[in-house]
Amino acid sequence: MTQMNREWAIAKLKRFLAIAAVKHVGPPPGVISAGSYQFVNPKDDVQAAAQIAEQILDRVLPSWRTADWEEARRPMWRHREAANRAIGLLEAEQELQENLGSGAPQLDAATLHPWVWGSVAGLWSSGHFREAIGAAARAVNAQSQAKLGRRDASEARLLGDAFSTNAPAPGHPRLRLSTDDGGDTFKNRHDGAGNFARGVYSAIRNPIAHEEGEELEENEALEHLAAFSILARWVDAATVETV
């Protein structure tokens, strides 16, 4: 039911039920019978409304055409029962998602790299999300400086240089995620890591540090933390190559 206009679908199904209303017609005088049911509205109107209802039902209740429902044995009554069931499901959709969950995977902040989560847990619990992002960025930078033994550069400049595919030089050790075998994979991994580092510091850390604004939404802040967690894992896992 993703991307479905729930309110529109409910309205169309309710309109179908109204148009497809039936009435009981008793037997003629002198005839012993339970009578029959007839549509209140012209059959053409019922069929036109059913065309739209069927498309909605195919999305909401894919098995409605073959479901073993008792009332569904009568003509068009399967449509009516399916419409009632679909309306109930659509109206309860939000409540069901809130209580049963969407089924989508959830990111647990505690599983982020310890350089990141270990530096922001206190800030996060107090709702200081913007400050927590800054603290994570500083923590990753500090750990990177310590691993590389450098204090002359920091953040984007430091890691952009460290992930360079150039050979190490005096004062410029490199971070290696794999052995240089002369292939494209080595170059792509290290160019990508360097660009990623420049990106998270330039596009996430710097605006947060230099712009004052409203507090970040928690889900947006968590995505930012996850970006720094990826960078932290690369730095932590990399070996240092020196001259």
- What gap in Å lies between CA 74 and CA 21, rounded to an integer? 14
Query: Which phi and psi angles does 196 have, rounded to 5°?
Result: -65, -45
What pLDDT is stored for residue 162 in this prediction?
97
19-53 as b/e, with b when 16 or more CB fall inside 10 Å?
bbebeeeeeeeeeeeeeeeeeeeeeeebeebbeeb
What ranges in 61-110 are assigned the alpha helix state H? 77-91, 93-100
Least confident range of 34-48, 70-84, 130-144: 70-84
Does residue 175 contact residue 148 with C-beta atoms inside 8 Å?
A: yes
Q: Is the confidence at residue 118, as pLDDT, over 80?
A: yes
Q: 166's torsion region: left (phi>0), alpha (psi -120 to 50) or beta?
A: beta
Residue range 12-56, pLDDT digits in tens: 999 999 998 888 777 777 777 666 677 788 889 989 999 999 999
Q: What is the dihedral of CA 123, 128, 131, 136, to 10 degrees?
A: 40
Say how many residues make up the chain: 243
Please give the DSSP secondary-structure letter assigned to residue 231: H
What pLDDT is stored for residue 1 in this prediction?
41
Residue range 188-232, pLDDT digits in tens: 999 999 999 999 999 999 888 777 667 888 889 999 999 999 999
Long-range contacts of 214-221 (CB under 8 A, 24+ apart): 215/127, 215/128, 215/129, 215/130, 216/129, 216/130, 216/133, 217/129, 218/129, 221/129, 221/130, 221/132, 221/133
Q: Is the confidence at residue 11, as pLDDT, over 50?
A: yes
pLDDT band at 2 (very low <50, low <70, confident <90, very high): very low
Query: Which phi and psi angles does 175 have, rounded to 5°?
Result: -100, 125
What pLDDT is stored for residue 125 in this prediction?
84
Q: Is the dihedral of CA 235, 198, 140, 109 positive or negative?
A: negative
Closest CA to 15 of 42, 59, 49, 47: 49
What is the pLDDT of the chain when averaged over all its residues?
Answer: 88
